[in-house]
Amino acid sequence: MSKIPLQFRHNGREVAIFVDGGTNLLVALRELIGDMTPKFGCGQGGCGACSVLIDGALHLSCLTLAETVAGRSVETLDGIKQGPQLHPLQRAFMENFAAQCGYCTPGMLMAAKALLDRNPQPSRAEVVEAISGNICRCTGYEPIINAVLAAASGGRASA
Amino acid sequence: MLELRKDIFADERDDNLKEIGKGTQRQDMLGHVTGTSTYFDDHKLQGMLHMKVLRSQHAHARLRRIDTAEAERSQGVRRIIRGADVPRNLNTLLSLINFGKDDEPSLAVDKVRYKGEPIVAIVADSPREAHEAMAKVRVDYEPLPAVFDVEDALKPGAPVVNEVYPKNTFIYHDVYDHQKLRFGDADRALAGADHVLEQRYQMSPIEHAPTETNGSIAAPDTNGRYVVYTSTQALFFSLDTSAKILDVPSNTFHFVGGTVGGGFGGKVDTLTEPLCILGAMLTGRPVRYVLGREEEMQFGSPRGAERIYLKDGVMRDGRIIARKVRAYFDSGAYTRLSSYAVVKCVAHLPGPYTIPNVHGDVYCVFTNRTPATAMRGFGVTAMDFAIECQMDKLAHLVGMDPMEFRILNAYRDGDMKAHRREAKNCALIECVQVAAEKSKWTLREEFRRMSSRKDGGGGRAAIPATPGETRPRPTAPAQQRTAYDRSLAAPLNEPPREPPPPPPSPPQPAAPSHGATRFSSVFGTRRR
Amino acid sequence: MPVIVKSFTNAGEAAAALSSEREARYLGGGTLVMRALNEGDISISTIVRATDAAMTRIDATGSRVTIGASVTFARILAERDLAFLHAPARSIGGPAVRNMGTVGGNLFAPIPYGDFTVALLALDATVAIQGSFGGRDMPLDEFLQARERQGGALVLSVSFPRIAGESFRYRKVARIQPKGGSVITLAAHLPVSSGRIAGARVALGSMAPVPTRARAVERALEGRALDAATIAAAAAAATEGTSPGDNALASAWYRREIVGVHLRRLLSGQE
Ligand SMILES: Cc1cc2nc3c(=O)[nH]c(=O)nc-3n(C[C@H](O)[C@H](O)[C@H](O)COP(=O)(O)OP(=O)(O)OC[C@H]3O[C@@H](n4cnc5c(N)ncnc54)[C@H](O)[C@@H]3O)c2cc1C
Ligand code: FES
Ligand code: FES
């Protein structure tokens, strides 16, 4: 049999699965682990709906060969809540009407988190750059950019 | 930021409202930001199979032979579906309201009419195995001359795209090869105009490119029915279309939808459900059929391309006295919703302007391009683009400010529209005034004082003599008034009007006033 | 049949595996290989990976700069010594693509991609290849001309002479900002000695099937001061020897029309 064992950290929890050769991380997360938060929008790297963090860095799960995350840490939208509390980015997206159909939202939030984790007070241009690999076809980018900026300044205010 | 201009028409509105005018949270927002909103593809079903579809590589070709023997034997293949397996392999979307002839197969049988047209569907254990089997299907094409240009398609001797419509145009009411609008005598008016401007406008097809591609998952349910998770924007429309194609009663299906990853009109065509359900019926297993991004771009229907010719007559003082429109909607290889787009377009002519002589001819044309469909105001948007470009040019021609030019020609309450309906609740003048103010564009005082509520009606309410009319037209429109009309909402400012004169004997039998019939009033008589 | 994945910690073994099988494909960052798999490219039946640390090394200390094939654009952007390469690295994809895509993979990226390679070409880079017959170095120019026939060889690294950062210029023309496929890409290395350009190298992307040197432009620049007349002469020669194609981003005609304009801007230091 050609199944390959694969073990990694998924939102802080050790998981072990068997994948077919060539399986991408998006399929592994959705179909084998059952984490439906990363979305399929293209399978080509073009939309960013499948964005996840691997060891804290933004990656496209559809273009990541599943085996390459062995022993590493994968974080998806499902892991960013703090207990029952929404992450400041999630709250800011809600308050700023930063989603319509919501399909890009998981990827947008992960791209935004990758930015804020490393740069808690980004400029507008840095926010634009950070979400430049994520396509939103409904909302328009203004509310999304505003939400990320609001989350950043909100974080500062409460810190 | 959003700004509501409640000062305009304030007397026509009850502002004591709880929701309107206030920001309200979307009910699905929490699901969106937590990634828990459930889209069709978020269902993981035991033993799910995957469907991939072999598509035409040619824009127009005869299918001499389709050989699936080797593909049948390919590893992981559960079922290969061909046109002959589809119970009713010919459909047109609007047949659900008895409009148009069935013209489109689910899987091509003898001919392909656009690049990307489905030929064979493969159900396999994994997407990879479906792709491997697909490579083993042999299709023997005999390429045919193709036509991609709407006007070429109408020329004598043009390749026949779709044999159901041998003239390459949709046929309305079994007779008419286009939709007409006649109001006054445009040719005579053009002859007397100070300036005449004729221009050609061409729009490209536009892909909706929703972030979630079209797709569905169908599975045998516990009660002998099939549950179908779908990306559709039109749940019951897709359900009935699937029931028709699969020739089963519609209660065979339990469609689950609602959360759509972007649609914009591109998810009303029932592109995936019938084959997906058929796969589940033929294998007895859950089947998933999701378009890849390239498929979505090539095969997913776009907003249709339109070619529009406008010929306008304008007087030196800025009044438009005639507008002649000839337009061709590129429906692609099949009708889908383009026939309706044309009707909408003609109903929208000549744009929001009072023009006493209007002449429109709009065609729904078949070409060897991907079939077009609905997209945000389809039928109207492209025509508006052309009309508004034209308005700028006309303003330039007569040396008028383009905003003032629009205000001058805009509908006012009480004006007669080209469809012989009275214009009501007009607001274009106010919109232009606010746009000018916002963009710091100076309007002359006279134009700042103009209002949709002033100077309409009277001579502007007249229906001009229209050559070729067989029946004399009534002087007043026979139409209902509703409580939303401006004239009733402002009783203090205006004495109550006379009730409208009784309608002359209607040309068609009186129809009940539910939604379906109003829809049909657009199309004319219905069979049934 | 599922894809077979073969991983090696040693580049030599990976190279051997790669050259032993026609259907094997090396996986760098995977941004193009995984995309092909996702689209149903069944010609890829075996994937070869190498996790050799040597391939992720950056050596920017000596007179030659060496960048391992597995180095990502995000790593380049984090490297202060490679500041002159930040513009080309930043012009690629969005942040996720930069975290994943590698310098080695970029050498193989078809139009509209291959921006970093255009920069490397202007830097007179050499490619270190591990093939079935052992290792060898090859000028990038030559490598690209024979790229279709490089299947089976593993790129270990690229290297180029260390340069003074200000002599290097880069410009990518894209329809979508800040991310988008290249309409055309331009890079120039213009070392100046006593007021005159000596050793001009200009490279163009999307003006031929692979990134190419603009030799006519180089000749127009060589030995001259970078003044208006020189720039005009260089811009006039921009299309010489090019063979651009049509794609969804631009037509060949459009590329020919604009390449001189953008070369002029590049040379005169305009934004
Ligand atoms: C959304 C998106 C945007 C992009 N934008 C850009 C852009 O703006 N500019 C740009 O230049 N590119 C762009 N790319 C293309 C691509 O990401 C880059 O060119 C990247 O450098 C490719 O590297 P990789 O390691 O991901 O390649 P891979 O996908 O791993 O490999 C690509 C090809 O190179 C071969 N290969 C890789 N490494 C080696 C090696 N060491 N030895 C031998 N063969 C090897 C592989 O076998 C394969 O054939 C984009 C891609 C996506 C998905
Ligand atoms: S699904 Fe991964 S980038 Fe679109
Ligand atoms: S909200 Fe629909 S794609 Fe962004």
**pLDDT tens digits for B237-284?**
999 999 999 999 999 999 999 899 999 999 999 999 999 999 999 999
pLDDT tens string C245-256: 999 999 999 999
Quick one: DSSP state of residue C46? Answer: E
Does the pLDDT value for residue B512 go beyond 50? no
- Picking from B26, B27, B34 by the largest number of A CB atoms within 10 A of its own CB, the best residue to mutate is B34
Mean pLDDT of chain B: 90
Nearest listed ligand to the Cα of residue A51: 2
Evaluate whether A20 touches A7 at the Cβ level (below 8 Å). Answer: no
**Do residues A14 and A43 both lie within one domain?**
yes
- pLDDT band at B500, cuts 50/70/90? very low
Q: Is B186 helix (H, G, I), strand (E, B) or coil?
A: helix
**Can you tell me which atom of ligand 2 is nearest the CA of A45?**
3
State CA C164 to chain mean position distance: 19
Please tell me if residue A44 touches chain C, with a CB cutoff of 8 Å: yes
Burial C196-224 (b: 16+ CB within 10 A, else e): ebebbbbbbbbbbebbbbbebbbbbbbeb
What residue in A sits closest to B35 (Cα-Cα)? A37
Looking at the structure, do residues A92 and A74 belong to the same domain, yes or no? no
Average pLDDT, chain C: 95
Of A26-35, B77-86, B315-324, C1-10, the range with the lowest mean pLDDT is C1-10
CATH 3.30.460.80 fits C171-268, yes or no: no
Q: Any idea what the CATH number is for the domain that residue A11 is in?
A: 3.10.20.30
Chain B nearest-CA distance from C31, in A, is: 16
Q: Which residues contact C208 (CB under 8 A, 6 or more apart)?
A: C242, C243, C244
Distance of CA C164 from the midpoint of ligand 2 (Å): 39
Tokens of C27: 């996986």
- For chain B, percent of residues with pLDDT exceeding 70: 89
Regarding whether A93 and A74 lie in a shared domain, the answer is no
Domains identified in chain A, total number: 2
Rounded to the nearest angstrom, the distance between the alpha carbon of A105 and the centre of ligand 3 is 7
Examine the fold and report which residue of A57, A78, A99 is the final residue of a domain before the chain moves on. A78
The whole-number pLDDT of residue B474 equals: 47
Cα end-to-end distance, chain B, whole Å = 50
**Parallel, antiparallel, or unpaired for β B226-230 and B253-256?**
parallel
Q: Averaged over B332-342, what is the pLDDT?
A: 97
Helix or strand holding residue A152 (H, E): helix A141-158
Q: Do C49 and A68 touch (CB under 8 A)?
A: yes
Which residue among A21, A44, A59 sits closest to C5, beta carbon to beta carbon? Answer: A21
Please give the ipTM for the structure prediction.
Answer: 0.96
Q: Which of A78, A100, A123 is the last residue of a domain?
A: A78
Closest CA to B361 of B141, B162, B186, B173: B186
A to C CB pairs, distance under 8 Å: 89
**CB-CB: which of A4, A22, A58 is closest to C37?**
A22
Please tell me the least confidently modeled range out of B140-144, B232-236, B484-488: B484-488
Q: Which residue of A has its CA nearest to C2?
A: A21
Q: What confidence tens digit (pLDDT) does each residue in B200-209 have?
A: 999 999 999 9
Whether the CB of A52 sits within 6 Å of ligand 2:
no
Domains of chain B: 49-143 (3.90.1170.50), 179-205+303-477+485-500 (3.30.365.10), 208-298 (3.30.365.10)
Q: State whether the beta carbon of C154 lies less than 6 angstroms from ligand 1.
A: yes
Same domain, A49 and A74: yes
Domain identity same for A97 and A74: no
What is the atom index within ligand 3 of the atom nearest the CA of A139? 1
Q: Is residue B1 very low, low, confident or very high in pLDDT (cuts 50, 70, 90)?
A: low
8 Å CB contact between B275 and B118: yes
In whole angstroms, give the CA distance from residue C259 to residue C173.
10
Q: What is the pLDDT of residues B124-164, one digit of tens each?
A: 999 999 999 999 999 999 999 999 999 999 999 999 999 99
Asked if the bond preceding C112 is cis, omega within 30° of 0, the reply is yes
- Per-residue DSSP letter, B465: P
To the nearest 10 degrees (0 to 180), the angle between helices B273-283 and B235-246 is: 50
Rounded CA gap, B370 and C203, in Å?
39
Strand partners, B172: B176
Q: Ligand 1 within 6 A of C69 CB?
A: yes
Q: Is A60 in the pocket of ligand 2 (CB under 6 A)?
A: yes
Rounded Cα gap, residues B285 and A23, in angstroms: 22
B-interface mutation test, from A85, A105, A110, most B Cβ less than 10 A away: A105
Find out whether B503 and B474 touch, Cβ atoms under 8 Å: yes
Q: Is residue A157 part of a domain?
A: no
Q: State percent of chain B over pLDDT 90.
A: 84
Q: A24 and A62: one domain?
A: yes
DSSP category for residue B172: B
On whether both A23 and A53 belong to a single domain, the answer is: yes
Chain B interface includes C38 (CB < 8 A): yes
* Mutation test residue for ligand 2: of A24, A42, A52, the one with most atoms within 8 Å of CB: A42
- Kindly state whether residues A94 and A123 are assigned to the same domain: yes
Q: How many CA atoms lie within 13 A of B134 on its CB side?
A: 25
- Give C3→chain B minimum CA distance, Å: 9
Q: Is residue A148 part of a domain?
A: yes
Q: What is the pLDDT of residue B4?
A: 79
Nearest CA to A101 out of B288, B231, C94 is that of: B231
Q: Which of A44, A68, A133 sits opposite C96 (nearest CB)?
A: A133
In this prediction, residue B18 carries a pLDDT of 82
The pLDDT value given to residue C177: 82
User: Could you tell me if the CB of A49 is within 6 A of ligand 2?
Assistant: yes
Q: Please name the residue that has the structure tokens 């209002």.
A: B451
CB C245 within 8 A of CB C251: no
Q: Which residues of A touch C49 (CB under 8 A)?
A: 65, 68
Strand spans (E) along chain C: 4-8, 24-26, 46-50, 58-59, 64-68, 126-131, 134-139, 154-161, 168-174, 182-189, 192-193, 196-197, 201-205, 212-213
- Give the model confidence (pLDDT) of B380-392 as tens digits: 999 999 999 999 9
* A111 and A142 housed in the same domain: yes
Q: How confident is the model at residue B515 (pLDDT cuts 50, 70, 90)?
A: very low
Q: What is the pLDDT of residues C113-169, one digit of tens each?
A: 999 999 999 999 999 999 877 899 999 999 999 988 777 899 999 999 999 878 999
Q: Which residue of A has its CA nearest to B233?
A: A101
pLDDT band at B505 (very low <50, low <70, confident <90, very high): very low
- Measured CA to CA, the distance from residue B37 to residue B34 in angstroms comes to 8
Q: Are residues A93 and A37 in the same domain?
A: no
- With contact defined as beta carbons under 8 Å apart, do A116 and A53 qualify? no
Query: Of B91, B81, B146, B75, whose CA–CA distance to B119 is shortest?
Result: B81
- Asked whether residue A158 is domain-assigned, the answer is no
Ligand 1 pocket, residue C130 CB under 6 Å? no
Quick check: is A29 in a domain? yes
- Per-residue pLDDT band at A1 (split at 50, 70, 90): low
Q: Which of A49, A78, A107 is the last residue of a domain?
A: A78
Model pLDDT, residue B471: 58
The string of DSSP codes covering A73-132 is EEE-GGG-SBTTBPPHHHHHHHHTT--SS-SSHHHHHHHHHHHHHH-SS--HHHHHHHTT
**Does C108 contact ligand 1 (Cβ within 6 A)?**
yes
- Distance separating alpha carbons of residues B507 and B148, to the nearest angstrom: 39
Q: Is the pLDDT of residue B513 over 50?
A: no
* Contact A45 CB / ligand 2 (< 6 Å): yes
Inter-residue contact B252 to B225 (CB < 8 Å):
yes
Residues in chain B: 528
Handedness of CA B207, B210, B215, B216 (dihedral sign): negative
Instruction: Please check whether residue C243 is in contact with residue C207, taking contact to mean a CB–CB distance below 8 angstroms.
Output: yes
CA B330/CA B200 separation, integer angstroms: 15
**Host domain of residue A132:** 88-152
Residues A65 and A94 placed together within one structural domain of the fold: no
Residues A74, A46 share a domain: yes
pLDDT tens digit sequence for A82-116 = 889 999 999 999 999 999 999 999 999 999 999 99
* C-alpha span between B197 and C17 (Å, rounded): 70
Which of B143, B142, B140 shows the shortest CA–CA distance to B65? Answer: B140
Asked if pLDDT for residue B506 goes beyond 70, the answer is no
Mean pLDDT, residues B172-181: 95
Chain C residues whose beta carbon lies within 8 Å of the beta carbon of residue B204:
none
Which DSSP helix (H) or strand (E) runs through B434? Answer: helix B428-438
Q: What class does CATH assign to C53-161?
A: alpha beta
pLDDT for B15 beyond 80:
no
Query: Which tokens in the block code for residue B17?
Result: 């409202």
Mutate-to-test residue for ligand 2 from A24, A50, A104, highest number of ligand atoms within 8 A of CB: A50
Strand partners, B307: B202, B328
Query: In CATH, what number is assigned to the domain containing residue A135?
Result: 1.10.150.120
Radius of gyration of chain C (CA): 19
The DSSP code for B491 is T
Interface test with C, best of B54, B128, B291, B296 (most C CBs within 10 A): B128
**In chain C, where does the domain assigned CATH 3.30.390.50 lie?**
171-268
Q: How many CA atoms lie within 13 A of B294 on its CB side?
A: 14
Q: Report percent pLDDT > 90 for chain A.
A: 92
**B163 vs B98, B102, B174, C84, C130, CA distance in Å?**
20, 11, 15, 62, 59
User: Would A83 be classed as within a structural domain?
Assistant: no
- C3 in contact with chain B, both atoms CB, cutoff 8 A: yes
CATH 3.30.465.10 domain range(s) in chain C:
53-161
* Tokens describing residue B417: 């529209």
Closest residue in chain A to residue C92, using alpha carbons only: A133
Query: Using CA positions, which residue lies closest to atom 3 of ligand 2?
Result: A45
Q: What is the pLDDT of residue A157?
A: 40
Cβ–ligand 2 distance for A151 under 6 Å, the answer no
User: Residue B470's pLDDT is what?
Assistant: 62
Which tokens in the block code for residue B122?
A: 């493969």
- Per DSSP bridges, beta strands B320-332 and B358-366 are parallel
A57 inside 8 A of chain C by CB: yes
Could you tell which of A42, A105, A141 is best to mutate to test the pocket of ligand 3, judged by most ligand atoms within 8 Å of the CB?
A: A105
Region B338-353: what's the mean pLDDT? 96
Measure CB to CB from residue B211 to each of A30, A31, A103 and give the nearest one: A103
Judge contact between A40 and A26, C-beta under 8 A: yes
C50: left (phi over 0), alpha (psi -120 to 50) or beta: beta
- In the structure, which protein residues have their CB atom closer than 6 angstroms to any atom of ligand 3? A 99-104, 136-139; B 211, 262
Report pLDDT for A116.
98
Q: Tens digit of pLDDT for each residue in C67-92?
A: 999 999 999 999 999 999 999 999 99
**Cα B406 to Cα B131, B348, B427, B454, B462, distances in angstroms:** 56, 16, 12, 15, 21
A134 touches A51 (CB < 8 A): yes
Structure-token pair, residue B25: 């949270």
Check if the beta carbon of residue B379 is closer than 8 Å to that of residue B341: yes
Tokens of B2: 């959003």
